Structure 1
Amino acid sequence: MRARPLLLASLISTIVIPAFAQEVNDGELQSVVVTGTYAKNRRTVDSESPIDIIGAKELQASGSTELATVLGRVLPSLNFPRPSGADASDAVRPAQLRGLSPDQVLVLVNGKRRHTSSVVNVNGTQGRGSAPVDLNAIPLSAIDHIEVLRDGAAAQYGSDAIAGVINIILKKGASGGEAEIGWGEYQKRDGRQRSVRASGGLPLGENGWVRIAVDAADRDPTNRAGADFRNPAEPLYGTVTQRFGDPETKPAALFLNSEYRVTDDIDWYAFVNYGQRDTSAAATWRTAFNGAALRSPLFPQGFLPLENSRSTDSSLVTGLRGEATGWRWDLSLNYGENEFKLNLDNTVNQDLGAASPTHFYAGRLKNSETLVNFDIAKDFAVEAFTGPVTLALGAEYRKETYEIGAGDVASYSGTGAQGFSGFRPVNAGSNSRDNKSIYANVEAEITKQFSASGALRHERYSDFGNTTSAKGSARYAFNEAVSLRATASSGFRAPSLAQQFYTITTTNFSVVNGVNTPIETGTFAVGSAAATALGATPLKAEKARNYSLGLVVQPSRNWTTTVDAYRINIDDRIALSANMTLNQALKNTLASQGILVGAGRYFTNAIDTRTTGVDLLSTYRWDTRDYGRFDFTGAYNHNKTDVEGVKANPAILTANGLTLIDRQTVNRLTVGSPKDKLSLTTDWAISNWGLRAVVTRYGSFTVPQNNATLDQTYDPQWTLDLSGNVKLGKNWRLTAGVDNATNRYPDQVTSAGNLNTNGIYPYSGWAPNGFNGRYYYAKASYSW
């Protein structure tokens, strides 16, 4: 009960002053942006689309060292749940913007497309069926600031930019640097984290520089599992045998950013990164007895399979840019790849009995992308206009390759390794495609009050054909304090190679007659004979239509408020189908192809949706002579997705009593993400001291089941994050803080929605703020 007055006090302190503020840097509240525009000196307040600027102060203002976790706390429109027991999704967690799929947001680094992860989220998490960019592979120490374009931008950037664009701008320059060590731990004395990071610049002769950033951390796992009281005959009956929480992780990353002036008119630039993250995640506890029989003589008390993975990210972007006859030009080469290798430990292959190994190599996934870009832009003076007309033209070639490598024989033979059956030789292979695109963009300041822009992009994919996207935007300023902005665009997202070719056979658990039963489940490539036998058709691009209308109010230099309403219609959304339990006739059909499974699934263009919402962002700075400076930030997002239509069920499935898209798949899109999110922040700085308080309200969400009576809706969750820092002398800074200071947990899973766990998993992996509780941390940094 004592937490409520503290929350109320922080809430009142933020609202009393007409607040809500997002600081860009120490000097001003507005900043020049480069995302979504080719014009020079475009400020956030002048943008025709809503753009958030996340500065270094916000990125460092929590105890987390994960980029996606930080963004999930400072961006109300971004959702980053923390799934557990979801195989590879524990290691590569998906983030959502505006409640849409994680792969419907485009990630850029210095304006260049970032490669996606090789991991496909195929279990019952948010973002099921997606293979997005791994945001946590990018070290915080390398980032200067982040620009988030909350608007459809496929006409400007191509595939994936349906929900918006996250553009990560790297630190640059030869001067200055910082090194930091950090420590943190949850109140329950687990999840201990040790971290180090550093960033610094060096000159490259007299005409260039290189910036080096390194991050490394060692994070212990957390566990919020309940005791297992299911079977009194079990040797460990009544004890906590499951591990349910954050996995053990050891990330390390290196990022280099560089630039060199070749001539007065030409610059060479390059940025490169390499990182790897070792993760040890727990699968489902295997009881000692399988029925009346001992499951494995190697583990007479039962065992907890561990999924030990290594995710490796590497990329190189290099290019030349300059200016000639008034044209700004940029020619670049971009290569990026992600490789995910998985090992199983502390487990067995039951079919091998006492001869089973306890370590298995399960195989690997690899995604790689190569791009060549050429952009030109020029400002033209038009006598009738008060400002220049900016014309930008460009062309891009992109090649993508997706690979699956088989595991060792013991990992997949028979029923395979318990916890995760390895990739089989029939799953292995490499598939590629290429894409060519051309695009144009026009921006103009027509009068002092009115500006407009338009974009057009045409793409040709080697696997599914052509697509064209368009966008129009406008802004009208009624006066210096009030302006209106609007956008309308068409967009698309190409089916990823992972969605077309990912294939594996795994052991899933389903409740059959009240018993949690393992079922061999095949995930089939959509073009395979197995998927075709179950009614699959080739994937096509998702098509989107985005509309937004925004009001910008800036009554003073220190106060800005924006309100943006939006609607996003998406046709032919790609989803992973239901886990279809097969009857004997279909089992026989697949068995004739050498596929022995009891259930099957594949990707399909099955659902049309409409997402509507509103973003509110307001910023206020209050400078006082005697009491320091106060920065207030308030941000709110309300988001709702409705299903407009579901494609007809394939005839072969209807004839066999199966449904391709089940209730759970549909409702995961509509009610699985929080309906709204509110964030209220106060920053206070005086002399060498600083304090920060953040109140966040995560809205309600529902975890759906195919049986509607088992649905559970979770109440909103309030959290309070507190931190303080002090600067010692010229170079040292000490920071201490508490995330979730009020130690708030999400609702526990009810017995009705927890039939197959009996209290072992007390919390939902869909909870937007996780379920680890209060977290203490401290940092010490040295800057030069």
Structure 2
Amino acid sequence: MLKLKLIPQSVLLALYGGAALAAFLPAVAHAQDTAPAITGDIQSVNVVGSRRVNASSIDTPVPVDFIPMTKAAEQGGSFDLAQTLTNISPSFNSTRQTGADGADLVDSAALRGLGSDQTLVLVNGKRRHTVALVNLFGARNRGNTGTDMNAIPLLAIRNVQVLRDGAAAQYGSDAIAGVINIELKKNLGCESVLGYGQYTEGDGENWLASAYCGVAVGGGVLGITGEYLDRGRSNRSEPGNPRIIGDTKAENQTLYLNGEFPTGPGKLYFTAGAQKRDASSAAFAREGLGSEDIPSRNSAAMYPNGFVPFIDGDVDDRWGTVGYRWAVGEWNADLSQTYGYNRLMYNINNTLNASIANLDLLNGGQGVSARSFDAGGFSFRQATTNLDISRFYGDVLKGMNVAFGLEHRRENYQIFAGEAGSYIDADGVGFGGNAGSQGFPGFQPGDQTDSDRHSNAAYVDIETDVTDKFKLQTALRHERYSDFGSTTTGKLAGAYRLNPTMLLRGSASTGFRAPSLQQVFFSSTFTDFVSGQPLDVVLAPNGGRVANAAGIPQLKDEESKSYTLGLTWSPTQSTSVTADLYRIDIDDRIVLSGRFDADNYPALGATLQALGVGQAQFFVNSVDTKTQGLDLTVSNRTSLGTGRLNTFFAMNFGKTEVKRVKAPAALAGFEDVLLSERERLFIEEGAPRRKATLGLDYIDGRLETSVRLIHFGPQTLGTFSGPPVPNQHYEAKTSADLSFTWSFTEKTKLTVGGTNIFNAKPTTQDPNETDNGFKYESVQFGLNGTAAFARLSHKF
């Protein structure tokens, strides 16, 4: 039985297909009701944002969405975590990209419209690594790294907690927009889920087989989850267009272990997870005979009717934690070691190197090259050591929890060169066929890197119940990085109970985000013919000869200031309302610049050409932004007829503005190249400025009916041509999901339903101006349309 003190945050119950946010006491009770019907001890509730050990109250003075995942795993229409959270949490955004190279293979995710690397992801309270990929294309998270939410199977997850507040002072780098904590299961008992889905267009088949089993081991519990997910390719291109526009093909094989065992005076715990993903994305089409693509991008002997290259990615993702918790008198200690690894290797298939094919033709051959190439790839490794110590003083005021700790983190980033055929220009630069594998040229030896850094941090975190009505939270953190220096951040938050049904809460904090190693050292080079001369086009790494020649300073951390002010109101035990205003100011935000060359910056262009570089772009701390908005939730649980109706409404209003573009001294006066209007709009409106979810869930006997409406506000993105060509405006759209669940027994359920049942799609645009070269851009809820699905779940 949970003992509750305050109701300072929304408790978002994932009644997937008809979400319901109940008043706090009924919500927690219902969260227990919907848990798997298995035996074993009730697990403790750990809430992100609070370091109180074995807390019996959920009383953080900042907004936290508590999302049990049982129903999403058993009955949801989405088979991965990123899409599931997109359909539940208005603050969370993840849109599958298409025509965006590596960004098609990994779904990036973010909070409150900010970048994917400005949201920290934890698993069981421990930092999870980001991916090796830097998003360079697509309408979302350009220039960002992020965390692969889909590397964790839904059935392995007990709940997801979304802290909608800056928390760098508590958890360190990346927690500018907020923190997502994924808590894994370790219950006794077994359960399984089989799922199938398909778009009504007849493609994009999804097959899911997932199983969880919690077994007793040595007085503790070991939870084991295995999952196989096969997502088929979809295609929304129009008849006669050889392109493939839609979901990537992906095959995931995942295994997760999560356990805790009493040992001596404490508990030994560990988590280990691994996923192998084979994914395939379709690049832009190359035309055949009679087109200008022969011989520059095609060979008549190989693909006379044109072809679509496939960017195939082999993703290897691993994460693990081992730790020990124990008590020394009245002090609680937690020592842990966390390891994360992500590698993405590219294989380009159904392609050619046009320069090799053209050279073969000139030498009397048929004019052919290999049809597939190893294009290289990259990896990111992170190891984090934590020591956390805390104590609760019940005799200080109304209670005070003191926590402090140390953290050491080591990171490594590598780029691997591809085979020579993936990047060489065999027939001579500027002549005949273009260099490299079509669709994605391989990384060159000059792009290779093997770079390391480390950081050390110390923090103190104090939560004080000053009176029965007033709670205060303070935190201070200092971090030192080996590559750019040190930073100190702080946080002050409080909650005051105005009356038994109403709570006022607010916070102010400073934060930071360290530049990722991926942003510092990413390098990509290909050769182009500029003004009659063979020159390299380079995305130049920070600190390299090209960046130094351009006067690009060393990357440093982004700095932020965050403020929230909110109110929770629970007029009855079955109704809850929360509203939270927020503002996030980020200085020195890291962006990917536009391309500089002799045309748009003659002085720099001459310097670049002297280095053999025709065009160059860089990562640089050059933008100050302001993000402000409102989060609103309203929920109710009531009896209706012979059943029970759960209703949930949540909305996020958010607006990001670029306040200032700060060019380095060497680039002063060229701010429009550093950040064009098109790139500015990707920052300001990469996510809708308004998003809302209305969920209705009605349970009557064995039948459960769920309806969910997801509203996406308007967006405006730029064009390649720029003024006077008007920007791309995307009208507000609403998607509707409907599902029916029949409980054959308490342990066996069948769910059938549809997502986006009214086939809503983004506003049509000029394909010549969109980022993916298609009339539907990858914004809002995507471009695939209606899908049908079925799930069968069974508990053993």
TM-score using structure 1 length: 0.90
Counterpart for residue 39 of structure 2: none
Structure 1 residues 627 and 581: alpha-carbon distance in aligned structure 2, compared to 1, 3 A threshold? farther
Deviations 1:554-575 (A, max 9, x none): 1122211110000000000000
Letter paired with 2:637: R
CA distance in 1, matches of 2:776, 2:145: 25
1:601 equivalent among 593, 598, 617 = 617
Letter paired with 1:186: Y
Letter paired with 2:570: Q
Q: How far 1:499 sits from its partner (Å)?
A: 0.3
Letter paired with 1:444: T
SS at match of 1:743: coil
Letter paired with 1:46: D
Contact 1:21 1:634 in 2 (8 A): no
Counterpart for residue 333 of structure 1: 337
CA distance in 2, matches of 1:29, 1:452: 32
What pairs up with 1:190-339 in 2 under 5 angstroms?
A: 190-205=203-218, 207-227=219-239, 239-263=240-264, 265-288=265-288, 289=290, 291=292, 293-294=294-295, 295-296=298-299, 297-339=301-343
1:393 equivalent among 397, 401, 404 = 404
1:679 paired to 2:693: yes
Counterpart for residue 432 of structure 1: 452
Contact 1:367 1:402 in 2 (8 A): yes
Letter paired with 2:317: D
Deviations 1:192-220 (A, max 9, x none): 11110011111113x12210011111111
Q: How far 1:153 sits from its partner (Å)?
A: 0.2
CA distance in 2, matches of 1:569, 1:71: 25
Contact 1:62 1:739 in 2 (8 A): no
SS at match of 1:152: coil
Structure 1 residues 187 and 23: alpha-carbon distance in aligned structure 2, compared to 1, 3 A threshold? farther
Aligned residues: 741
CA distance in 1, matches of 2:25, 2:684: 30
Q: How far 1:653 sits from its partner (Å)?
A: 7.5
2:477 equivalent among 457, 463, 467 = 457
SS at match of 2:421: helix
Contact 2:128 2:340 in 1 (8 A): yes
Letter paired with 1:685: I
Q: How far 1:93 sits from its partner (Å)?
A: 2.1
1:117 paired to 2:128: no
CA distance in 2, matches of 1:689, 1:25: 21
Structure 1 residues 477 and 507: alpha-carbon distance in aligned structure 2, compared to 1, 3 A threshold? farther
Which segment drifts farther, 25-34 or 397-406?
A: 25-34
Deviations 1:754-777 (A, max 9, x none): 5x98xx612012x12011111000
Contact 1:336 1:370 in 2 (8 A): yes
SS at match of 1:369: strand
Q: How far 1:519 sits from its partner (Å)?
A: 10
Contact 1:535 1:653 in 2 (8 A): no
Contact 1:83 1:125 in 2 (8 A): yes
Structure 1 residues 438 and 18: alpha-carbon distance in aligned structure 2, compared to 1, 3 A threshold? closer
What pairs up with 1:520-539 in 2 under 5 angstroms?
A: 521-539=537-555
Counterpart for residue 5 of structure 1: none
Which segment drifts farther, 577-586 or 542-551?
A: 577-586
CA distance in 2, matches of 1:605, 1:241: 40
SS at match of 2:519: helix
SS at match of 2:144: coil
Q: How far 1:684 sits from its partner (Å)?
A: 1.4
Q: How far 1:56 sits from its partner (Å)?
A: 1.8
Deviations 1:218-270 (A, max 9, x none): 1111111134xxxxxxxxxxx1200011111111111000111012x310000
1:147 equivalent among 161, 166, 178 = 161
Q: How far 1:37 sits from its partner (Å)?
A: 0.4
Q: How far 1:651 sits from its partner (Å)?
A: 3.3
Letter paired with 1:441: D
Contact 1:318 1:334 in 2 (8 A): yes
Q: How far 1:19 sits from its partner (Å)?
A: 10
Structure 2: gaps (5+ residues): 1-17, 35-43, 358-366, 426-434
1:629 equivalent among 644, 650, 654 = 644
CA distance in 2, matches of 1:303, 1:279: 19
SS at match of 1:156: helix
What pairs up with 1:690-705 in 2 under 5 angstroms?
A: 690-705=704-719
CA distance in 1, matches of 2:193, 2:544: 51
Counterpart for residue 232 of structure 1: none
Contact 1:673 1:702 in 2 (8 A): no
CA distance in 1, matches of 2:643, 2:653: 34
1:364 paired to 2:377: yes
Contact 1:148 1:165 in 2 (8 A): yes
Q: How far 1:42 sits from its partner (Å)?
A: 5.6
CA distance in 2, matches of 1:538, 1:435: 17
Q: How far 1:17 sits from its partner (Å)?
A: 13
CA distance in 2, matches of 1:177, 1:423: 45
Q: How far 1:283 sits from its partner (Å)?
A: 0.6
CA distance in 2, matches of 1:465, 1:363: 32
CA distance in 2, matches of 1:667, 1:290: 34
CA distance in 2, matches of 1:78, 1:292: 41
State the superposition RMSD in angstroms.
2.7
Counterpart for residue 662 of structure 1: 676
Deviations 1:539-595 (A, max 9, x none): 0100000000000101122211110000000000000111334448766644554x5
Contact 1:746 1:763 in 2 (8 A): yes
SS at match of 1:669: helix
Structure 1 residues 704 and 612: alpha-carbon distance in aligned structure 2, compared to 1, 3 A threshold? same
Deviations 1:719-775 (A, max 9, x none): 110111111134321111100111111111146845x98xx612012x120111110
CA distance in 2, matches of 1:543, 1:127: 18
Structure 1 residues 485 and 652: alpha-carbon distance in aligned structure 2, compared to 1, 3 A threshold? closer
Counterpart for residue 233 of structure 1: none
Q: How far 1:780 sits from its partner (Å)?
A: 1.1
Structure 1 residues 498 and 15: alpha-carbon distance in aligned structure 2, compared to 1, 3 A threshold? closer
Q: How far 1:521 sits from its partner (Å)?
A: 3.6
Letter paired with 2:258: N
1:494 paired to 2:514: yes
Q: How far 1:665 sits from its partner (Å)?
A: 1.7
What pairs up with 1:691-730 in 2 under 5 angstroms?
A: 691-705=705-719, 707-708=722-723, 709-730=725-746
Contact 1:725 1:734 in 2 (8 A): yes
2:578 equivalent among 562, 571, 593 = 562
CA distance in 2, matches of 1:622, 1:462: 56
SS at match of 2:446: coil
SS at match of 2:681: helix
Letter paired with 2:342: N
CA distance in 1, matches of 2:28, 2:526: 47
Structure 1 residues 468 and 193: alpha-carbon distance in aligned structure 2, compared to 1, 3 A threshold? same
Counterpart for residue 411 of structure 1: 422
Which segment drifts farther, 724-733 or 67-76?
A: 724-733
Q: How far 1:538 sits from its partner (Å)?
A: 0.6
SS at match of 2:548: helix
Contact 1:256 1:273 in 2 (8 A): yes
Q: How far 1:57 sits from its partner (Å)?
A: 4.0
Which segment drifts farther, 545-554 or 78-87?
A: 78-87
1:165 paired to 2:200: no
Structure 1 residues 587 and 440: alpha-carbon distance in aligned structure 2, compared to 1, 3 A threshold? same
